[in-house]
Chain A
Amino acid sequence: MIRVGLKFCGGCDPAYDRDEYWSEIKDLAEGKIEWVRLDAGGYGRVLMINACETACVAEELSFGPEVRILISTTGQIPAQEVVAQLVGPM
């Protein structure tokens, strides 16, 4: 299992169904990824899910070079690819 930090934006004005998107990712990642909140630490990868192109969290958060960050702004990265990138080699 790979430990992955997960962060959502506030979802004030969603351009797509984030619940549906997240549910798809979670199902595909079953048994491969352990999802944790960002304040839990101990992860080398982060998934940020934004609800629109403003991508508030992408601008607000920063990590060191040891953390790989994957940002999906409008659900444009298919769930399968999200999982593949997160479990793939650094």
Chain B
Amino acid sequence: MYPNHKRIETKEDYIQSLRDLDHTIYFQGQKVEDITEDPAFIPHINCAAKTYELALMPEHEDLLTAESHLTGERINRFTHVHQSVEDLIKKVQMLRLLSHETGSCFQRCVGFDALNATYMTTFDLSADKGNDAHAKFVEYLKYIQASNRMVVGGMTDVKGDRTLPPHKQPDPDVFVHITERRDDGLVIRGAKAHMTGAANSHEVLLMPTQTLRPGDEDYAVCCAVPLDADGVIQVFGLQTNDERKGTIDIGNATYGLVGGETLMVFEDVFVPWERVFMAGEIEYAGLLVERFATLHRQNYGGCKGGVSDVLIGATTLAASHTGVVKASHIKEKVAEMIHLAETIYSSSVACSALGAKTPSGAFYPDPLLANCAKHNTTRHIYEIGRLAHDVAGGIIATMPLEADLRSPEVGKYIEKYLGGVEGVPTENRLRILRLIENMTGGTALAESMHGAGSPQSQKVMYNRLGKLDMKMKMAAKIAGIEE
């Protein structure tokens, strides 16, 4: 039923698999023939490749691999369904580790979370409806675990008029929907936005974007689509400073700064029934969305905590390059950065530690704490960036470019006047300052704010999950109010 792809083990396997993928991707108005040769895509590919590379390293296999509960085989953790609280915690630890290695977004968590959310929700759906949705999904999961192909989770619809439900939109395509039901499958149309890592993924696992109500049945669709299927078109977005040249000015030339996102269009795409896991069951749309959101919000203290560790290191190096690292106000600011990074990490660990088993057997983080993890990230990453700017100084905004450093005419002035303490090459100082500049501006910050849901979506969950009834009872009892 599923193609017998060669299992992706190494970075080279991964890159070759992308070359073999006949996907349709546009960038700057042009169709990209081979993303593995295009400088705009290479950092994101390098970054995702780390999820394969580290899995092969004995010192990292404990976090990067797991035993499949379906086959007993050793698999990449990004294709695993969490079987314990320990698995949930290892997920967060793995994300922090990968951030330490890359300083960027390695993209594979989105598909990881989509696989887990769909697994547990199709279980409930099938138990309720008596259908084969879960059995079909298990077969799909086995295919992904065996092939180790990269899956992007496709949730965010473009939404059009936010005041209208999907079926009342003037343009029905602003939410991905079923346009035709055939004997052999479905046809879908629409678009998903902010698809992190999609340009260098092999598959998309589509889910509804919000709770659905009667009339929205055609929008309750969860299915897996190969990204080289006919009618799938992706448009890659430019990231902060992507167009800078050389290896210094871009900050993180090898791995980029964020995941690399596309707008993914489905132009009457056929999906065979074996790849369809929900088609019209509106009552399960909200549950799937909530589970995906919780699993994805769980991550942010791991990945952004790890990225913050890199930024803290860069900030400390910047201070040491000018001899101020032991100044009390610098130490105080670095200590505050550490406090904030560990705060976001601790909420991700906490929601994992209090995770629970779902009826499917898969484990699921505490949803209230997972939302806290993400909400803390929307705030603390900005403060960590502000402190980095404070310590690094205005030079991050005004320094000349790498071309000036290399210039036969003015390079000597850059060397002389932008140097710091003796023994530190000027180029090293500039490299660290550019890393700070790039990690604390533009796309990197917006990703921390809106990835896995904007802050307001976490506030909505607080009101739902905050147990206000019990809190009022506690207060009334202590205040001596008799009911």
Q: How far is the CA of A65 from the CA of B279 in the complex (A)?
A: 40
A58 to B357, CA, bound (A): 10
A13-B467, A14-B467, A15-B467 known; A53+B356 contact, CB < 8 A: yes
User: B interface, how many residues as a size bin?
Assistant: 10 to 19
User: Cβ of B9 < 8 Å from any Cβ of A?
Assistant: no
- Tell me whether B339 is interfacial, beta carbon within 8 Å: no
A59 at the interface (CB under 8 A from B): yes
Q: Given the complex of chains A and B, what is the CA–CA distance between A55 and B355 in angstroms?
A: 9
A8 at the binding interface (Cβ < 8 Å): no
CB-CB contacts below 8 Å: B191-229 with A? none
A34: CB under 8 A from chain B? no
Give min CB distance, A55 to chain B, whole Å: 6
B351 nearest CB across to chain A (Å): 10
Contacts of A15 in B (CB 8 A): 467, 470
Q: Which residues of A contact B469 (CB under 8 A)?
A: 16
Q: Do A16 and B470 have beta carbons less than 8 Å apart?
A: yes
Nearest Cβ in chain A — how far from B134, in angstroms? 21
Residue ID in chain B nearest A73 by CB atoms: B356
A54 within 8 A of B: yes
- Of B355, B467, B470, B473, the contact of A54 (CB 8 Å cutoff): B355
**Interface assignment of B366: CB less than 8 Å from any CB of chain A:** yes
Q: In the complex, what residues of A have CB within 8 A of residue B467's CB?
A: 13-15
| Nearest chain B CB to A58 CB, angstrom units | 8
Q: Are A55 and B473 in contact (CB under 8 A)?
A: no
Q: Considering the chains assembled together, what is the distance between the CA atoms of A55 and B357 in angstroms? A: 9
Residues of B within 8 A of A58 (CB): 357
Closest A residue to B364 by CB, please name it. Answer: A53
List, in ascending order, chain B residues with CB within 8 A of A59's CB: 85, 357
Cβ-closest chain B residue relative to A50 = B356
For the complex, give the distance between the alpha carbons of A3 and B357 in Å. 29
Complex CA distance for A26 and B402, rounded to whole angstroms: 76
Judge whether B287 is part of the interface by a CB distance below 8 angstroms: no
Q: Is the CB of B470 within 8 A of A14?
A: yes
B357: chain A residues within 8 A (beta carbon)? 55, 58-59
Cα distance A54–B355 in the bound complex, in angstroms: 6
How many residues of A are in contact with the other chain, CB < 8 A? 10
| Cβ–Cβ < 8 Å partners of B355 in chain A | 54
B356: A residues at CB distance < 8 A: 53-55
With a cutoff of 8 Å between Cβ atoms, the chain B residues found around residue A16 in the complex are: 469-470
Complex Cα distance, B356 from A16, in Å, reads 17
Is A24 located at the chain interface by the 8 A CB criterion?
Answer: no
Q: Whose C-beta in chain A lies nearest to the C-beta of B367?
A: A53
Interface code A1-21, partner B: CB below 8 Å = 1, 0 otherwise? 000000000000111110000
* Interface flags, B347-362, vs A, CB<8A=1, else 0: 0000000111100000
Q: Tell which of B85, B366, B470 touches A17, judged by Cβ atoms closer than 8 Å.
A: B470
**Cα A89 to Cα B366 with chains together (Å):** 35
- What separation, in Å, do the CA atoms of A66 and B356 have in the docked complex? 25
Residues of A within 8 A of B85 (CB): 59
- Distance in angstroms between the alpha carbons of A16 and B473 in the assembled complex: 10
A26 and B473 CA atoms in complex are apart in Å by: 22
Chain B stretch 368-384: residues in CB contact (< 8 A) with chain A: none
Mark interface residues in B84-96 (1 if CB within 8 Å of A CB, else 0): 0100000000000
Chain A, residues 26-60, CB within 8 Å of chain B (1/0): the string is 00000000000000000000000000011100110
CA distance A59 to B357 in the complex (A): 9
| A58 to B359 alpha-carbon distance, docked (Å) | 13
Q: Distance in Å from the Cβ of B367 to the closest Cβ of chain A?
A: 9
Distance in angstroms between the alpha carbons of A54 and B352 in the assembled complex: 10
A51 closest partner in B (C-beta): B470
Please state if B473 and A17 are interface contacts (CB–CB under 8 Å).
yes
Closest chain-A Cβ to B371's Cβ sits at a distance in Å of: 14
Query: Nearest chain-A residue to B355 (Cβ)?
Result: A54
A88 CB to closest chain B CB, in angstroms?
22
A17 neighbours in B (Cβ, 8 Å): 470, 473
CA distance A16 to B467 in the complex (A): 8
Could you tell me the distance in whole angstroms from the C-beta of A3 to the nearest C-beta in chain B?
A: 28
Measured between C-beta atoms, what is the minimum distance from A23 to chain B in Å?
Answer: 14
What is the CB-to-nearest-CB distance from B370 to chain A, in angstroms, rounded to a whole number?
A: 12
Give the residue name and chain of the A residue nearest to B365 (CB). A54
**Which residues of chain B come closer than 8 Å to A53, judged between CB atoms?**
356
- Give chain B nearest CB distance to A19 CB in angstroms: 10
Q: State which residues 464-483 of B face A: CB under 8 Å.
A: 467, 469-470, 473
- By beta carbon, the residue of chain A nearest B467 is A15
10 contacts between A and B (CB under 8 A): A14-B470, A15-B467, A15-B470, A17-B473, A54-B354, A54-B356, A54-B366, A55-B356, A55-B357, A59-B85
A-B contact sample (8 more), CB < 8 A, given A14-B467, A16-B469, A55-B356: A13-B467, A15-B467, A15-B470, A16-B470, A17-B473, A54-B355, A54-B356, A55-B357
Top-10 shortest CB links A-B: A54-B356, A54-B354, A53-B356, A15-B467, A14-B470, A55-B356, A54-B366, A17-B473, A15-B470, A16-B470
